[in-house]
Amino acid sequence: MRFWLLDRICCFEPDTELLAVKNVSLAEEYLADHFPEFPVLPGVFMLEAATQAGAWLVRLSENYAHSIIVLHEARAVKYADFVTPGNALSIHVKQTGSDERFVKLKFQGEVNGRLSVSGRLVLERYNLADSDPRQADLDKRMIAHQRSTESLLTRDTNVEAVEK
């Protein structure tokens, strides 16, 4: 994904839930086209923010067991309100089930306590080395990068203090 759609992970409970925030700024380049007279966070970016929050829930819960966590399916996604610049979208994801390869989640995004988006996600997780053992080094490098990103997203929160 080209854009980081989370600015902070506020709290997290392993295998259960995670709360993250996406601050919307007028400086974000995609707002120039969406829409010039009425800039709003695109709905697909709200969905991507929820996907990224879900991926962080999985990463932190499993101590980075998988280098790849991607959206497999989105269901019952409902957009209830716009997210305009100057506001923060709070994304709350809850894990509802998992198996060896997939994690099921429900999510909702709110601005100032008002629902903006909700739905259900299925995330797929795996390592590149699962299908090509020669990719094990790339898996390690990707996980190292994700670990360094965690410190940026959890700065000034007590997420790091949670046992992993």
Question: Which entry of 34, 72, 92, 145 is annotated as an active-site residue?
Answer: 34
Long-range CB contact pairs, 94-101, < 8 A, 24+: 94/16, 94/17, 95/15, 95/16, 95/17, 95/57, 95/61, 96/120, 98/15, 101/125, 101/126
34 is catalytic: yes
Q: Which of 76, 65, 69, 88 is nearest to 5 (CA)?
A: 88
**CB environment 80-119: b (16+ within 10 A), e (fewer):** eeebeeebebbbbbbbeebeeeebbbbbbbbbeeeebbbb
Q: Which amino acid is at 13?
A: E
Catalytic residues: 34
